[in-house]
Amino acid sequence: MSILFSPITLRSVAMRNRIFVSPMCQYSCQDGLVGIWHLVHLGSRAVGGAGLVMVEATAVSPEGRISPQDTGIWGDAHVDAFLPVTRFLAEQGAVAGIQLAHAGRKASCAVPWQGGKPIPAGSGGWQTLAPSAVPFDVGDPVPKALTADDLDALEVQFRTAARRALAAGFKVVEIHMAHGYLLHEFLSPLANRREDEYGGNLENRLRFPLRIARAVRAEWPDDLPLFVRISATDWVGNGWDIEQSIVLVKELKKLGVDFIDCSSGFVVPNEPVPFGPGFQVPFSARIRAETGIATGSVGCITDPAQAEQIVATGQADAVLLARQFLRDPYWPLHAAKALGVDIPWPNQYLRAK
Ligand SMILES: Cc1cc2nc3c(=O)[nH]c(=O)nc-3n(C[C@H](O)[C@H](O)[C@H](O)COP(=O)(O)O)c2cc1C
C-alpha cells in the first residue's frame, strides 16, 4: 500500500498521487508568452504521471521577471498562450498549477546559460523594485524602494494575475514567497530595512506578504486550493528562520491558504545551505506538525523509497521534484514500478509498460 501513489484532495481538487513537478524556470519566452517548449516540457511530465504540474515562477508584471525570457501573466494574450498547456495537462490526468511571482531586487538578470548576471536598465534590463534600496550582492544595481502607491499597484497585479490564472485553466495557484524574490524580501530582515509599517518587527515584515495572500485568496475561487512557497530559513544568523516561518504559516492558514511548499534560502548570496538528500524535509515536517496545514517537501528528493518514506511518515503530504523531473519526465511511472504499485500508463505507451 503506497501513500505516495494515493490521491490527495485539497478543496475540490483531487491529485492522482502526491508527486508534484516543482516550479522550474525555463527562460524560454518572449514577452512572457509560453509556446511549444512549455507545452512539450510540461506536457511530458503530465504524460509521465505527475499528480500536479506547477508552471514556473510566472511574473505578475513585466518588471517582476527574473529574466527577459520568463513567463508572464500580466495580459490577456498570456491567458490564450497558457490555454493549450492547461488543456493538455488536464487531458493527461495531471492538475495544472501556476506559481505567481515577482522577482523584486533579483529581477532583470540574464538567463543562467548566459551568466545570470544583472542586466542594467537601458541594456535590455529595467529598474528593479524591492522593499528597501539594498542590492542583492555587492555591485548589483540598487533597487528602487517601493512606495505606498507601488504596494497598492502590486496588490492589484497579484490579484489580476490570479483572475487570469483561472481564465487560463489553472486549478492551483501558488504564491512565490521564497528564494529571495519580492515577498521573501519583505519577510527577511536581511533585505527589508523599511521603517514604516512594512518593516522592522515580525508583525510588520509579515504585513505585505499577508496582504498579497489575502488579495489572491479573495480572487481565487473558494473551491480551488491556494499554495504558498516559502523559504523556511535564510540559513544565516539574524535572518528569517523556521520559528518566524511557523508564525507566518499560522497567519496564512487563517487567510485560507491550503498548502505550504517548503523550500529555503537564496535571499542573500553565499548562504551555507547544507544540500543533501531530503535536507528540507525537517521544515515540511515541523510546519505540518505545528500548524496542521498540508505541506510539500522539496529538495534533493530523487529516490522512490525516499519519497514514499517522506509522505508515509507524515513529514509531508506531497513531494515536489525539480531536477529529477528534468532527468526523467516519466519518474512517477518508474517510481511506481520500483515500489511495486500498478498505475495506469498512457494508452499510447502501453506496449512499453
Ligand atoms: C532549472 C530550475 C529552475 C527553477 N525555477 C524555479 C521557479 O521558477 N520557482 C521556484 O520556486 N523554484 C525554482 N527552482 C527550484 C526548484 O523548484 C526546487 O525547489 C529546487 O531545484 C530543489 O529541488 P530539486 O533538488 O528536486 O531540484 C528551480 C530549479 C531549477 C533546477
User: Which pTM was predicted?
Assistant: 0.99
- Provide the mean pLDDT of the chain: 98
Decide if 102 contacts 57 (C-beta within 8 A): no
Provide the pLDDT confidence category of residue 12 given band limits of 50, 70 and 90: very high
Nearest atom in ligand 1 to 321's CA: 26
Q: How many whole angstroms from 111 Cα to the centroid of ligand 1?
A: 14
User: Which residues are the active-site residues?
Assistant: 181
Nearest ligand 1 atom to the CA of 99 is 9
pLDDT of residue 297 exceeding 90, the answer is yes
- For the segment 189-212, what is each residue's pLDDT rounded down to a tens digit? 999 999 999 999 999 999 999 999
Q: What percent of the chain has pLDDT over 90?
A: 99
48: confidence class by pLDDT, cuts 50, 70, 90: very high
**Which band of pLDDT confidence, cut at 50, 70 and 90, is reported for residue 122?**
confident
Atom 3 of ligand 1, residue of closest alpha carbon: 24
- The residue written with cell numbers 530559513 in the block is 233
pLDDT tens across 61-89, in order?
999 999 999 999 999 999 999 999 999 99
Average pLDDT over residues 122-127: 94
Q: Which residues line ligand 1 (CB under 6 A)?
A: 22-25, 56-57, 99, 176, 178-179, 229, 263, 298-301, 321-324
pLDDT digits (tens, 9 = 90+) for 100-115: 999 999 999 999 999 9
Which CATH class, in words, describes the domain spanning 8-352?
A: alpha beta
